[in-house]
Amino acid sequence: VTAGWLIDPSTQGNRRILLASVPSGELREDHFARDEVAVPSPEAGELLCRNLVLSIDPAARAWMSQRTYRAQLSMGEVMAGYTLSQVVAECHSGYAVGDLVFGQGGWQQFSLARAEDVHPVRRRFDLATHMSTLGITGLTAYFGLVRVGAPKPGATVVVSAAAGATGNVVGQLARVIGCRVVGLAGSDAKLGLLTRLGFDAVVNYRDPGLRSALRDACPDGVDLYFDNVGGPVLATVLSLMNIHGCVVCCGAIAGYDHPENATSPPGIPGILVTRRVRMEGFLVHDYEHEWDAAEEILAGHVSRGEIEPLHQVIDGLDNAPKALIGLLAGANVGKCLVAIAGEVSGRAVRRP
Amino acid sequence: VTAGWLIDPSTQGNRRILLASVPSGELREDHFARDEVAVPSPEAGELLCRNLVLSIDPAARAWMSQRTYRAQLSMGEVMAGYTLSQVVAECHSGYAVGDLVFGQGGWQQFSLARAEDVHPVRRRFDLATHMSTLGITGLTAYFGLVRVGAPKPGATVVVSAAAGATGNVVGQLARVIGCRVVGLAGSDAKLGLLTRLGFDAVVNYRDPGLRSALRDACPDGVDLYFDNVGGPVLATVLSLMNIHGCVVCCGAIAGYDHPENATSPPGIPGILVTRRVRMEGFLVHDYEHEWDAAEEILAGHVSRGEIEPLHQVIDGLDNAPKALIGLLAGANVGKCLVAIAGEVSGRAVRRP
């Protein structure tokens, strides 16, 4: 270890939240367990991170129960999750104690990371904004909309889970690009919020007349659908796609808790041929070498007031399971975050 | 009329095949009717075409029973179809009597066309080759593979209905590009033919162990699937797609005669996200301004022996319904064509 520690590991444990059982159907508290272990020491090339803010993502539900783009979590493993952390100790890592980094620290107070697996964060806003609009979900919105969807000004963009972490940034960014933006959400409160954020039209996806409401909201049809939900809503929007339209497949939250909603839309591939529609899935990690550039762009929009950061911060690591359960039930508005620790400041202490 | 006629319309009728009833399920002879009417006269800007060769396309089955990218055929309407024709009379059209043109003459001996709705054909091969490898299905193969799919050399390309009109050109062209090409077809005779044409591997889609046979044929996974069939085969290939793979959606022949096979593959959109797969539909008509350039490229491959034209020619307009019925049942190899008339030659006659 090449520098002092910002914490004293002899007086400090590492509280963690683990996968206790594999969920099927609705997620519950008893799918999680808690423990506390010793704070680990970094070896060469590693950093010890004190996790300050934890990102709660719908994808975590999928990581718990199936192989996705990452291996399924195993029983007793620390829950996976993105974190904004402060380096509290390091060993020949190229980072300095005190640095802020973004990484996959998981649902725990402290984590080790290899230097190449974290991104440095240059602080310019509150930490929550760095984890919402400038964080993984903001970047997801950026790359999905701008790089996969690439809508033209004037295009009609529909986004589902529009009051969610990714959706709200997609909608606000599409407005900046000059698109007509239609947001789908599940409550009047969310729809009101979207209108305040500048969405041109909003539709409640629980509306039994969803298709006709959406058709009214999209008099020129749908050019781009940014899909966070899959299931029946995807089927409905597909039926309103314009020729040469595009569906950006970002997630399928509708099916995570409710597999009965995970049905594929009818008419695949027929409707794709007839309307020359492109459906394309993507992961924000495929653009990792461009994250810094995209963050700059998003930071500019935030600074100029063109995109309003939207997040809810829940206090305390122990509340992370409740936060994920609520997120899957549609309770949240904007990015769902858990504050694990207050910001560490002050000078490094000698390692005991 | 500005020039003489190549035929004498006073002694010649126009035999036609019409839609008699809207098919649901398997196509039968009694869905068609036949009649004979007078040969029409071209008005300003029009040509009178003597249809020499008629293209029989699976899409015709869809045109009969539903709105697709074109309006549904109405009862009593002449069956729609692509034709290679000779201009036998014209009126200020810019074409000359005797010219060969490609257009949508339909299932009849003679048709009127507006000059802007046909493409001139410069003859360099036999007429059937102009309607197969250089015709609409060859162009479909070209634009779908090269422009929508755009595989890299070394990529594994799977094509369904590989012994069909479009599929055989897709496979041969992918070989020219340097891809590993795996063909799916439904009989040993077709599989043998594909092997002779240079496909690297062939698999019978009727094989109950299709998934494992296909996995064996694609040891590095599937980078590009050129889908002509949809249905269960699409579902199987999707499950073998590589990350960042692409499905070119060209048609869904499996469902035309058998709606029970028209089911969407499971896992949409989840698998598209997880594997970052792009599914994209296209129509060859969207590339109409590039047809001439693509035809030049395909003609070069044919001249150099890199692509072998593959077609079956059935004699006589009256056999067109039987040809389409057989095509949908998987009877044909290569492009299915109907020879309506021998080639008209000789000098123009005075219009009577």
Beta-carbon contacts of A104 under 8 Å, excluding residues fewer than 6 positions away, are: A80, A81, A82, A83, A113, A117
Q: Which residue in chain A has the smallest CA separation from B243?
A: A69
Q: What is the pLDDT of residue A150?
A: 98
Q: Which residue in chain B has the smallest CA separation from A230?
A: B269
Q: What is the pLDDT of residue A344?
A: 44
- Mean pLDDT confidence for A24-36: 95
∠ CA A139-A145-A148 to the nearest 5 degrees?
A: 105
Chains A & B: contacts with CB separation below 8 Å: 111
- Mean pLDDT confidence for A304-321: 96
Residues in chain A within 8 Å Cβ distance of B282: 273, 276
How many whole angstroms separate alpha carbon A278 and alpha carbon A271? 10
- Report residue A261's pLDDT band, with 50, 70 and 90 as the boundaries: low
DSSP result, A27-83: --GGGEEEEEEEPP---TTEEEEEEEEEEE-THHHHHHHS-SSSPPPPTTPBPP--E
Q: Does A232 touch chain B (CB under 8 A)?
A: no
pLDDT per residue as tens digits for the range A145-178: 999 999 999 999 999 999 999 999 999 999 999 9
How many whole angstroms separate alpha carbon A266 and alpha carbon B314? 36
pLDDT per residue as tens digits for the range A201-259: 999 999 999 999 999 999 999 999 999 999 999 999 999 999 999 999 998 776 666 66
Q: Does A285 touch chain B (CB under 8 A)?
A: no
CB contact under 8 A, A269 and B234: yes
Q: What is the pLDDT of residue B255?
A: 65
How many whole angstroms separate alpha carbon B164 and alpha carbon B336? 8
How many whole angstroms separate alpha carbon A215 and alpha carbon A227? 17
Beta-bridge partners for B85: B51, B101
CB contact under 8 A, A234 and B262: no
Tokens standing for residue A264: 């594929």
As a residue count, chain B comes to 352
∠ CA A141-A135-A74 to the nearest 5 degrees?
A: 95
How many whole angstroms separate alpha carbon A56 and alpha carbon A53? 10
How many whole angstroms separate alpha carbon A238 and alpha carbon A235? 5
* CA A167 vs CA A68, A89, B198: distances in Å: 21, 36, 48
Q: What is the pLDDT of residue A351?
A: 41
Beta-carbon contacts of B72 under 8 Å, excluding residues fewer than 6 positions away, are: B63, B64, B65, B66
Residues in chain A within 8 Å Cβ distance of B69: 243, 273-276
Residues B313, B338: contact at Cβ < 8 Å? yes
CB contact under 8 A, B270 and A282: no
DSSP result, B48-94: EEEEEEEE--THHHHHHHS-SSSPPPPTTPBPP--EEEEEEEEESSS
Q: What is the pLDDT along chain B (352 residues), one digit of tens a residue?
A: 455 888 888 889 999 999 999 998 899 999 999 999 999 999 999 999 999 999 999 889 989 998 888 889 999 999 999 999 999 999 999 999 999 999 999 999 999 999 999 999 999 999 999 999 999 999 999 999 999 999 999 999 999 999 999 999 999 999 999 999 999 999 999 999 999 999 999 999 999 999 999 999 999 999 999 999 999 999 999 999 999 999 999 987 766 667 676 789 999 999 999 899 999 999 999 999 999 999 999 999 999 999 999 999 999 999 999 999 999 888 889 999 999 986 544 344 444 3
Residue A350: pLDDT above 70?
no
Q: Does B272 touch chain A (CB under 8 A)?
A: yes
Q: What is the pLDDT of residue B256?
A: 65
Residues B229, B160: contact at Cβ < 8 Å? yes
> Coil, strand, or helix at residue B314?
strand
Nearest neighbour of A281 by CB, restricted to B250, B251, B275: B275
Q: B43 — phi, psi (to 5°)?
A: -100, 180
Residue among B133, B203, B201, B196 at smallest CA distance from B170 = B133
Q: What is the pLDDT of residue B350?
A: 45
Predicted ipTM of the assembly: 0.87
Q: What is the pLDDT of residue A10?
A: 84
pLDDT per residue as tens digits for the range A264-282: 999 999 999 989 999 999 9
Q: How many CB atoms lie within 10 A of CB A198?
A: 16
Q: What is the pLDDT of residue A25?
A: 87
CB contact under 8 A, A277 and B281: yes
Q: What is the pLDDT of residue A345?
A: 42
Residues in chain A within 8 Å Cβ distance of B241: none
* CA A284 vs CA A332, B28, B200: distances in Å: 22, 51, 35
Q: What is the pLDDT of residue A347?
A: 45
How many whole angstroms separate alpha carbon A15 and alpha carbon A31? 17
Tokens standing for residue B292: 């001439």
pLDDT per residue as tens digits for the range B285-323: 999 999 999 999 999 999 999 999 999 999 999 999 999
Q: What is the pLDDT of residue B25?
A: 87
| CB within 8 Å of chain A, chain B residues 59-78 | 68-69
Give just the sign of the alpha carbon dihedral B240, B244, B248, B252: positive
Tokens standing for residue A89: 């100790």
User: Which of B264, B271, B288 should one mutate to test binding to chain A, selecting the residue with the greatest count of A CBs within 10 A?
Assistant: B264
Residues in chain B within 8 Å Cβ distance of A281: 269, 271-278
Residues B222, B203: contact at Cβ < 8 Å? no
pLDDT per residue as tens digits for the range A70-103: 899 999 999 999 999 999 999 999 999 999 999 9
Q: What is the pLDDT of residue B332?
A: 83
DSSP category for residue B229: S
Residues in chain B within 8 Å Cβ distance of A225: none
DSSP result, A283-351: -GGGGGGGHHHHHHHHHHHHHTTSS---EEEEESGGGHHHHHHHHHTT---BEEEEE-SPPP-S--B--
Q: Does B275 touch chain A (CB under 8 A)?
A: yes
Beta-bridge partners for B338: B54, B314
pLDDT per residue as tens digits for the range A95-132: 999 999 999 999 999 999 999 999 999 999 999 999 99
Residues in chain A within 8 Å Cβ distance of B150: none
Beta-carbon contacts of B148 under 8 Å, excluding residues fewer than 6 positions away, are: B246, B248, B280, B282
Residues B253, B58: contact at Cβ < 8 Å? yes
Give Cα B314 distance to the centre of its chain: 15
Work out the minimum CA distance from A1 to partner chain B, whole angstroms: 38
Residues A102, A45: contact at Cβ < 8 Å? no
Q: Does A280 touch chain B (CB under 8 A)?
A: yes
Work out the minimum CA distance from B258 to partner chain A, whole angstroms: 14
* CA B158 vs CA A146, B149, B265: distances in Å: 30, 11, 17
Q: Does A118 touch chain B (CB under 8 A)?
A: no
Q: Using the structure block, give the residue that is written with the tokens 């309307």.
A: A275
Beta-carbon contacts of A343 under 8 Å, excluding residues fewer than 6 positions away, are: A52, A86, A127
Tokens standing for residue B163: 């012994």
Tokens standing for residue A257: 């808790």
What single-letter amino acid sits at B54? L
